């Protein structure tokens, strides 16, 4: 039956403003622009993004309990787990901010999801990624159930392995008037924290079953790696993992107990693999120094959140080998040097938020002045003004704010490798744009020869790199049985 001509539909279709309502544009890739009548609503919503946090339920798992990769894999999990341990390494993907909120963004998301999926199929068996870990902001604008298919299930329909996720602000912020049953975290939990691996309505006719994480925060245990994931809540900025002493009354403090229990467990069992800590909001996001030219990117650092994490790390005597986050739609890799326990350690803090939603510049024009892009290697310790550990310097090591991309991580008994693979429109690059190796025993970042350096586009300030101890010296200083630091 022929479709009725568009002009025969009643106009307007709705009798009140609808988000994403707009007017067609001559540019078919942009399709819509906000309708002027929505301006006041958008302004009010924009304000709420910095005011409204959300509560969330306690995890089904006890604070010290692990969620094992073998569990997610189902009946063959123990067998695959044993194979990985026998092989001596594990490879996995990480990326944040995948959701395409408009038709114009969809090609970006598809390019990234296709490349990540292609990596699984092209890699030789002993180098094949075993899972994808999403760093939040899966479904825009605010985790609507009706967009899970388009923005998550369909793009990753061919990813041949489990997909885990921590929620981002776009997966949790509640638009006023949303029925409780349709709150974004309800949908997120239905699809990622299901008690059983069922097919949800959001998956449509696809066969991917819901992930069975015990909660929106959880500790994923896999061969050679443990990933402690925290939910950093619904604000645009900053990230918040607790009530912060009652300041955010809606947020329970259960994650503090969870983090402490997990780090204590790592210490007590003398875990020797790589320890990663993930939050959607990055502890560090680049911004020019006070008085500098231009402004920072679209998202800022979260110092109060990091302070809480640092204090728990100090109390337990365990510091993660790397921090991973998204939220900022670009790639940033910092190295933070710390005097911790009995020696100096260095820790990568990585932002990998170019999963397809957008690519944002690291610096923006401000006050009529164009932003000045920092040179890689710039000391940015001003981003860490009141550290709750013995911080000894913060360096912006690498960044990419021009292409989408994802992380390919490799862990073995000796090292953790984080490699950033940019995704453009061309063929798969043979080498990653950036690659960092963390020596697990010494807990130090090892520079990788041959890593291409990005040419600075503005003024440079290239002080000396932070002091690093040799692996041998640091290993000798490590307290036996202290586990990861
Ligand atoms: Fe975000």
> Which CB contacts under 8 angstroms, 24+ apart, belong to 122-125?
122/428, 123/91
Cα gap 167→182, rounded to integer Å: 15
Task: Note the pLDDT of residue 484.
Answer: 38
What distance in angstroms lies between residue 250's CA and the mean position of ligand 1's atoms? 19
Q: Which of 276, 281, 274 is nearest to 233 (CA)?
A: 281
Tokens encoding 77 = 């999990």
User: Which homologous superfamily is 61-477 in?
Assistant: Metallo-dependent phosphatases (3.60.21.10)
Query: Confidence class of residue 430 from pLDDT cuts 50, 70 and 90?
Result: low
As a whole number, the mean pLDDT across the chain is 86
| Number of neighbours of residue 23 by Cβ within 10 angstroms | 10
This prediction's pTM: 0.86
CA of 48 to the centre of ligand 1 (A): 14
CA–CA separation, 238 and 337 (whole Å)? 23
Please determine, for residue 464, whether its predicted confidence score (pLDDT) is greater than 80: no
Q: What is the pLDDT of residues 126-178, one digit of tens each?
A: 999 999 999 999 999 999 999 999 999 999 999 999 999 999 999 999 998 89
In the reported structure, the alpha carbon of residue 425 is separated from the centroid of ligand 1 by a whole-number distance in angstroms of: 24
Query: What's the pLDDT tens digit per position in 355-379?
Result: 999 999 999 887 777 778 899 999 9
Ligand 1 centroid from CA 133, angstroms? 15
Q: For residue 291, is it left (φ>0), alpha (ψ between -120 and 50) or beta?
A: left
Q: Which residues pair with 351 in a beta bridge?
A: 325, 332
Q: Which helix (H) or strand (E) holds 476?
A: helix 471-477
Could you tell me the distance, in angstroms and rounded to a whole number, from the CA of residue 184 to the centre of ligand 1? Answer: 14
SS3 392: strand
390 backbone dihedrals φ, ψ, rounded to 5°: -80, 75
Distance 171 CA to ligand 1 centre (A): 8
CA atoms within 13 A on the CB side of 108: 25
**Cα(406) to centroid(ligand 1), Å:** 16
Q: 235 C-alpha vs ligand 1 centroid, how far in Å? A: 8
pLDDT surpassing 60 at residue 467: no
pLDDT digits (tens, 9 = 90+) for 305-315: 999 999 999 99
* Cα-to-centroid distance, 233 and ligand 1 (Å): 9
Helix (H, G, I), strand (E, B) or coil at 407: strand
**Distance of CA 239 from the midpoint of ligand 1 (Å):** 9
Both tokens of 390, joined, read: 């013995």
CA of 408 to the centre of ligand 1 (A): 21
pLDDT value at residue 6? 45
Query: What is the Å distance from ligand 1's center to 327 Cα?
Result: 4
304: three-class secondary structure by DSSP:
helix
CA of 466 to the centre of ligand 1 (A): 30
Closest CA to 404 of 96, 74, 121: 96
Q: How do residues 231-256 score in pLDDT, each as one tens digit?
A: 999 999 999 999 999 999 999 999 99
Cβ 74 vs Cβ 197: under 8 Å: yes
**Spacing, Cα 135 to ligand 1 middle (Å):** 9
**Tokens at residue 290, please?**
């006070």
DSSP 35-83: -GGGHHHHHHHHHHTTT-----PPPSS-TT--EEHHHHHGGGHHHHHHH
Q: How far is the CA of 142 from the centre of ligand 1 (A)?
A: 10
Q: What is the pLDDT of residue 2?
A: 44
CA of 8 to the centre of ligand 1 (A): 40
pLDDT of residue 480: 29
Q: What are phi and psi of 425, to 5 degrees?
A: -100, -5
* Residue extents of the structural domains in the chain: 14-48, 61-477
When pLDDT is cut at 50, 70 and 90, the band that residue 431 belongs to is confident
- Distance from the CA of 331 to the center of ligand 1, in angstroms? 14
Q: How confident is the model at residue 39 (pLDDT cuts 50, 70, 90)?
A: confident
CA–CA separation, 392 and 381 (whole Å): 8
50 alpha carbon – ligand 1 mean position (Å): 12
Q: Distance from the CA of 140 to the center of ligand 1, in angstroms?
A: 10
Cα 168 to averaged position of ligand 1 atoms, centre (Å): 5
Please tell me the distance between residue 182's alpha carbon and the centre of ligand 1 in angstroms.
20
- Is 79 strand, coil or helix? helix
User: How far does residue 280's CA lie from ligand 1's centre (Å)?
Assistant: 7
Q: How far is the CA of 481 from the centre of ligand 1 (A)?
A: 37
Question: pLDDT tens across 47-60, in order?
Answer: 999 999 999 999 99
| Ligand 1 centre distance from Cα of residue 123 (Å) | 30
Under 8 Å between Cβ of 401 and 297: yes
Question: What is residue 366's predicted lDDT score, i.e. its pLDDT?
Answer: 79
pLDDT at 33 over 50: yes
pLDDT above 90 as % of the chain: 72
Cis peptide before 124 (omega within 30 of 0): no
309 C-alpha to ligand 1 centroid (Å): 19
CB 187 within 8 A of CB 36: no
**CA distance linking residue 27 with residue 201, whole number of Å:** 33
Q: What is the pLDDT of residue 153?
A: 97
Provide the pLDDT for residue 456: 38
């Amino acid at each position: 039956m022929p479709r009725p001509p568009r002009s025969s539909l009643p106009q307007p279709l709705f009798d009140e403003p609808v988000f994403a309502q707009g007017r067609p544009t001559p540019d078919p890739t942009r399709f819509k622009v906000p309708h002027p009548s929505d301006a006041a609503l958008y302004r009010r919503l924009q304000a709420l993004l910095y005011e409204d946090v959300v509560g969330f339920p306690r995890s089904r798992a006890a604070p010290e309990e692990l969620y094992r990769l073998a569990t997610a894999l189902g009946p063959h999990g123990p067998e695959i787990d044993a194979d990985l341990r026998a092989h001596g390494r594990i490879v996995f993907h990480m990326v944040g901010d995948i959701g395409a909120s408009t038709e114009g963004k969809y090609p970006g998301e598809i390019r990234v999801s296709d490349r990540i999926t292609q990596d699984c199929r092209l890699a030789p068996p002993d180098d094949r990624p075993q899972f994808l870990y999403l760093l939040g902001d899966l479904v825009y604008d605010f985790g609507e159930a009706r967009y899970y298919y388009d923005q998550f299930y369909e793009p990753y329909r061919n990813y041949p392995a489990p997909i885990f996720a921590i929620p981002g602000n776009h997966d949790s912020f509640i638009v006023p008037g949303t029925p409780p049953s349709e709150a974004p975290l309800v949908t997120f939990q239905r699809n990622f924290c299901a008690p059983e691996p069922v097919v949800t309505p959001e998956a449509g006719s696809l066969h991917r079953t819901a992930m069975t994480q015990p909660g929106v925060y959880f500790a994923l245990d896999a061969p050679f790696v443990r990933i402690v994931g925290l939910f950093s809540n619904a604000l645009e900025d900053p990230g918040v993992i607790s009530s912060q002493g009652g300041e955010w009354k809606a947020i329970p403090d259960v994650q503090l107990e969870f983090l402490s229990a997990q780090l204590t467990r790592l210490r007590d069992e003398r875990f020797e693999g790589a320890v990663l800590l993930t939050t959607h909001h990055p502890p560090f996001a680049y911004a020019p120094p006070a008085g500098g030219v231009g402004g920072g990117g679209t998202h800022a650092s979260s110092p109060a959140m990091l302070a809480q994490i640092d204090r728990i790390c100090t109390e337990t005597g365990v510091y993660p080998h790397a921090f991973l986050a998204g939220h900022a739609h670009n790639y940033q890799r910092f190295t933070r040097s710390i005097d911790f326990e009995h020696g100096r350690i260095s820790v990568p803090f990585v932002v990998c938020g170019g999963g397809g939603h957008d690519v944002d510049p690291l610096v923006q024009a401000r006050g009529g002045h164009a932003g000045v892009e920092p040179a890689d290697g710039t000391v940015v310790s001003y981003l860490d003004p009141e550290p709750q550990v013995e911080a000894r310097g913060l360096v912006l090591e690498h960044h990419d704010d021009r292409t989408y991309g994802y992380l390919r991580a490799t862990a073995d008994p000796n090292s953790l490798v984080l490699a950033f693979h940019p995704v453009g429109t061309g063929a798969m690059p043979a080498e990653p744009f950036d690659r960092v190796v963390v020596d697990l025993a010494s807990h130090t970042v090892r520079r990788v020869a041959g890593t291409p350096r990005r040419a600075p586009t503005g003024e440079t300030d290239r002080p000396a790199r932070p002091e690093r101890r040799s692996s041998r010296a640091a290993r000798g200083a490590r307290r036996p049985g202290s586990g990861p630091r």
